[in-house]
Amino acid sequence: MTHDSIKTLKFATRAIRAGEEPDFREGASGDVVAPIHLSTTFARRIVEQPTGGYEYTRSLNPTRKALETRLAALENGAHAMAFSSGLAAETTVLVSLVKAGGHIIALDDLYGGTRRLFSQVFNGYGITASYVGAADVGEMEAAITPATRLIWLESPSNPLMKLCDIAAAAKLARRRGLVLVVDNTFLTPYFQNPLDLGADIVVHSMTKYIGGHSDVLGGAVIVNDEALYQRLAFNQNAVGAVLPPFDCYLTLRGLKTLALRMERHQQNALAVARFLEAQPLVKRVYYPGLESHPQHELAKRQASGFGGVLSFELEGTLATSKAFLENLDIFALAESLGGVESLIELPSLMTHASVDAEARAEIGITDTLIRVSVGIEDIDDLLADLERALSAAARVVSTV
């Protein structure tokens, strides 16, 4: 299948076929599933001519190439790169585009690991970051300085599920000569395609929905611009944090069911969000699929779905949160998200513990804010589990 013919296929077909077509050439075996190429080096007959373009597996590996071809096809991009983790992908973007003295504009409500990378790693190399609200592109523009090199977005944001108008941010970035990076981990290319909205770079933690089974770590970068790709690909090879072949195989396998999984994740998440909205112990629910979300219309305009992650805030104190979380049976109390199993966590003490307390308070990450990655289990079991845990938490509130 050619690149152009793949582009004509529907998403679910691309998720299965792109990058993994059977090889019918002389001597090939016609594998339906791409083989796992574990060789670290590749022999050649002619000194100056690598066989098939392969010379060393850090630079290029057939299994990784299959995955990268599929990722590009799903994000409507020209090129994709697979990394050993989402943070490795982010690090490669930063070292490629921002030098000492440079400045980054990012959302205030940002994955804790990304904020830690900006504020506790790259700041040591003379790179600064300003954090702004997601909803106001004007606030982004006001934060631009002569040293600004890129704008970094998550939409929805983590953990408060704020949205940014990606198309408006892209127009701003183009007008001011900046690079726009969008982390699309939460919605995946099934529900949202930031490149189509004008973004320059899309990043993913493939550990989440793309892998989908909580058993493989990975990151991805997808772009359209050829010069930008060459710059990033050089550093992918030079830095070397590439995804190993077996992990590429697992991720390829996970991607085959992405369309099915995302539909069920969303169906269950919407049911959970509506259930929580009706509970007296719940102060508010953050989920773009709810009509009560202040950016519900934007969510419908720039994405085809709302995803499987939501957050909500309980009445009470940290003791209330702990009583609720520690009385769940089906929801696993664990960091990460996007697996087939339902996960739940307390950002203030878990995923965002590396964000200082003052910044958490300013953003709105309280000790009663809970983030949920709704899995694909039976919804009746999930709701019953939440109901039991809320009853336990209510007893704590009543004794205070």
CA distances (Å), origin 56, targets 92, 240, 252, 370: 19, 11, 21, 45
- 109, 165, 183, 385: the catalytic one is 183
Active site residue 200: no
Would you say 192 and 303 are in contact if contact means Cβ atoms under 8 Å apart?
yes
Distance (Å, whole) CA 99 – CA 118: 13
In 3-state terms, what secondary structure has residue 345? strand
- CB crowding 183-211: b at 16 or more within 10 Å, else e: bbbbbbbbbbbbbbbbbbbbbbbbbbbbb
Known active-site residue 208: yes
- How do beta strands 103-107 and 148-154 pair? parallel
| The one catalytic residue among 14, 64, 65, 111 | 111
CA distance 316 to 400: 9
Q: State yes or no: is 111 an active-site residue.
A: yes
Q: Measured between alpha carbons, how far is 18 from 9 in angstroms, rounded to an integer?
A: 10
Which residue carries 């929801």 as its tokens?
Answer: 331
Q: Catalytic residue among 17, 58, 231, 264, which?
A: 58
Catalytic residue among 70, 162, 208, 261: 208
Q: What are phi and psi of 358, to 5 degrees?
A: -65, -45
The answer to whether residues 182 and 202 touch, using CB atoms and an 8 Å cutoff, is yes
Question: Catalytic annotation on 17?
Answer: no
**Residue 328 — φ and ψ, nearest 5°?**
-90, 145
Positions marked catalytic: 58, 111, 183, 208
